[in-house]
């Protein structure tokens, strides 16, 4: 029996009011797109159809987005990592229905031409170290009434092949058997700390809730670095300048636990748990692995002040199915808010974090406040010329690509692709080159002594943003550094020698070639030729800036403080989030039980 709150849909399929068909299915990262055409309709021409995926329990788990292509053609899409409620689309068998208000008008079919290609649109995303597969499989319903596609979603462990005994395997005293027992023991014990930490956290939260606190507790936190990152520093320093730090109990927790968990003992973990439990608000600026398994209490607001502006590399759920992608539930799902430099690119962040567009707030990046401060710029330029006197009076080329490799431990850069001799000859008396490699690349740039008057390795001693002040040409690839550098309104070149490989292995979260503010080259010879001819495609810079920045000022830290800490969030953002949450609640109430065929 339906709940009185349910929104009951009316079954009007037998009236054959419209015939809508899928002509193509494709994927844009984790968004599946259905190209549909309205073959016929007896409804008014201006009728707006809404599309829902309905499962076997006659409930909907996705209200699709619909983009008009022509009067008869549309693209219906759903982001399977987050159809709107900050989780992956649940397992089930789904059919696509076209509706008008509360009337179910038709079950969407496919064309005869596309029917034989339907299965080719199926896709599998491997996660959890590629040990579990999230599969979307397309097939046809066995029916005499039409070619109705079914979308099967399955999230399951990989099928394990039978284990065949090897010599000594069944001997309890053999080295193989002993190794198996030790491995089993280690795996069992490895799970225990998380259970202990969860229980400890719950107890600490209960103790904190019992206190009568006069101030809110604010925690600045990172599990990636043992020092405070630039966005966090900017907000904290601005709080002190305004005297607002006195209004909060402020805590700090900075640990570089990636690959170093064994270096942090029980005392460190318990201290960190205590700070998290006490926190009413937590600021982070990167992925926090601890929150992949520790679910925060509702009393705590988690705010992501993401360190990067707007790069091109797939991050989080925008790289789902690739190495290093998150599990269906991860730290990212727990963000209450995340900042962005512009509302235009909010969807980049919502896709990669698996949360709603309405949770992404365009405050600007706090670390940009100092970067755009003219006094800081003047002082920094003076310091840089003292450090690199050879650069004064010359044009500076900054070579600063991102790393290659899966993570911090495997990060590297293929220096053999750089023709140092030709680059040196190109410089003549006009250029010097400063190399600034990604912090994860431990191997320094192999600069020979004979090039040392024009080539310099900045290493970790200089902030890349500071180098932008004296840079005349920035050479990068997929790094987010171009975001800050673009505001210098100087040219860039993008040395994307592995663009195709990168797109398939790491993945981009937007079209690379059309969105970079400069010329893309694929060989070092092309790079040198572009420099000689000053062929930089600099006309792309101004449109890039206009699209990526809502604010070009020194007030981003103030907006973060006012909006998130002092509860002065503009109503337009809170209203949008409230409306979205109400829409998700409504989705839960929509009931398609009228589609159920009566038993004979």
- 195-368+570-580 matches 371-548 in fold: yes
What is the number of alpha carbons within 13 Å of residue 488 lying toward its C-beta? Answer: 20
Q: Where would I find the H helices in 420-463?
A: 420-427
Q: What averages of pLDDT result for each successive group of 10 residues across the chain (600 residues)?
A: 74 96 95 97 94 95 96 96 95 97 97 94 91 94 92 77 40 54 54 83 94 94 92 97 97 88 84 96 96 96 90 80 88 97 92 96 95 95 94 95 82 92 94 92 92 92 92 91 92 90 69 85 95 95 94 96 97 96 94 85
What pLDDT does residue 243 have? 97
Q: Beta partners for 36?
A: 22, 74
The per-residue pLDDT for 158 is: 54
Domain boundaries of the chain, sorted by first residue: 7-160+584-595, 195-368+570-580, 371-548
Decide: residue 221, CB within 10 A, 0-12 exposed, 13-18 middle, 19+ buried: buried
Question: Tell me, what's the pLDDT at 459?
Answer: 87
Which pLDDT score is estimated for 6? Answer: 85
CA 281 to chain centre: 22
Quote the pLDDT of residue 505: 67
CB-CB contact of 341 with 550 (8 Å)? yes
> Closest by alpha carbon to 447, among 471, 418, 405, 411?
418
> Is 77:52 a contact under the CB 8 Å cutoff?
no
Return the HEC string of 140-154. Answer: ECCCCCCCCEEEEEE
User: If one looks up domain 195-368+570-580 in CATH, what number appears?
Assistant: 3.40.50.11820
Q: What CATH number belongs to 371-548? A: 3.40.50.12580
What's the pLDDT score for residue 165?
39
Contact residues for 336 (Cβ-Cβ < 8 A; gap 6+): 301, 302, 303, 359
Question: According to DSSP H, which parts of 337-431 are helical?
Answer: 346-353, 368-371, 374-387, 420-427
Nearest 5°: phi and psi at 219?
-115, 125
Distance CA 476, CA 494 (A): 5
CB 431 within 8 A of CB 451: no
pLDDT of residue 1: 45
């Amino acid at each position: 029996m339906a709940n009185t709150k349910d929104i009951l849909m009316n079954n009007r399929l037998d009236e054959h009011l419209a015939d809508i068909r899928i002509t193509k299915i494709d994927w844009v990262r984790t968004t599946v797109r259905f190209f549909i055409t309205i073959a016929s309709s007896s409804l008014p021409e201006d009728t707006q159809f809404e599309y829902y995926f309905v499962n076997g329990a006659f409930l909907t788990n996705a209200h699709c987005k619909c983009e008009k292509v022509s009067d008869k053609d549309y693209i219906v899409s759903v982001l399977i990592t987050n159809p709107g409620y900050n989780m992956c689309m649940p397992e089930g068998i789904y059919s696509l229905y076209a509706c008008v208000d509360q009337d179910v008008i038709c079950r969407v079919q496919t064309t005869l031409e596309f029917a034989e290609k339907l299965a080719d649109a199926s896709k599998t995303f491997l996660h959890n170290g590629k040990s579990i597969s999230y599969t979307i499989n397309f097939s046809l319903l066995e029916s005499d009434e039409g070619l109705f596609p079914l979308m099967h979603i399955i999230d399951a462990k990989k099928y394990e092949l039978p284990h065949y005994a090897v010599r000594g395997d069944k001997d309890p005293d053999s080295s193989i058997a002993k190794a198996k027992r030790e491995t089993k023991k280690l795996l069992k014990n490895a799970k225990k700390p998380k259970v202990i930490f969860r229980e400890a956290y719950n107890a600490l939260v209960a103790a904190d809730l019992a206190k009568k606190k006069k101030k809110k507790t604010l925690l600045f936190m990172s599990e990636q670095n043992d020092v405070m990152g630039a966005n966090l520093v900017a907000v904290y320093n601005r709080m002190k300048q305004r005297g607002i730090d006195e209004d909060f109990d402020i805590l700090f927790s900075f640990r570089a636990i990636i690959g170093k968990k064994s270096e942090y003992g029980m005392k460190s973990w318990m201290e960190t748990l205590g700070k998290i439990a006490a926190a009413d608000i937590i600021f982070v600026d990167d992925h926090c692995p601890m929150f992949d398994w520790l679910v925060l209490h509702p009393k705590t607001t988690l705010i992501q002040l993401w360190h990067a502006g707007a790069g091109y590399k797939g991050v989080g759920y925008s790289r789902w199915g690739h190495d290093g992608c998150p599990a269906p539930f991860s730290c990212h799902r727990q963000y209450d808010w995340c900042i962005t430099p512009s509302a235009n690119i909010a969807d980049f962040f919502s896709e990669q974090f698996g949360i709603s567009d309405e949770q992404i707030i365009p405050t600007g990046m706090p670390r940009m406040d100092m970067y755009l401060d003219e006094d800081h710029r003047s002082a920094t330029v003076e310091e840089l010329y003292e450090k690199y006197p050879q650069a004064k009076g010359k044009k500076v080329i900054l070579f600063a690509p991102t790393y290659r490799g899966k993570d911090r431990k495997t990060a590297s850069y293929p220096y053999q692709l750089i023709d140092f001799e030709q680059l040196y000859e190109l410089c003549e008396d006009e250029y010097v080159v400063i190399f600034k490699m990604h912090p994860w690349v431990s191997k320094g740039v192999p600069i020979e002594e004979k090039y040392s008057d024009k080539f310099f390795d900045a290493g970790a001693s200089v902030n890349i943003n500071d180098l932008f002040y004296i840079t005349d040409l920035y050479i990068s690839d997929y790094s987010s550094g171009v975001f800050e550098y673009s505001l210098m309104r100087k040219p860039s070149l993008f040395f994307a020698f592995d663009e195709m490989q990168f797109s398939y292995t790491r993945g981009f979260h937007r079209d690379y070639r059309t969105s970079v503010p400069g010329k893309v080259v694929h060989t070092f010879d092309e790079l040198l030729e572009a420099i000689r001819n000053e062929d930089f495609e600099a006309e792309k810079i101004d449109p890039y800036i206009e699209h990526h920045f809502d604010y070009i000022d020194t007030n981003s830290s103030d907006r973060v403080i006012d909006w998130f800490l002092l509860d002065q969030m503009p109503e337009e953002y809170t209203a949008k989030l409230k409306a979205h949450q109400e829409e998700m609640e409504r989705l839960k109430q929509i009931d398609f039980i009228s589609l159920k065929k009566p038993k004979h």
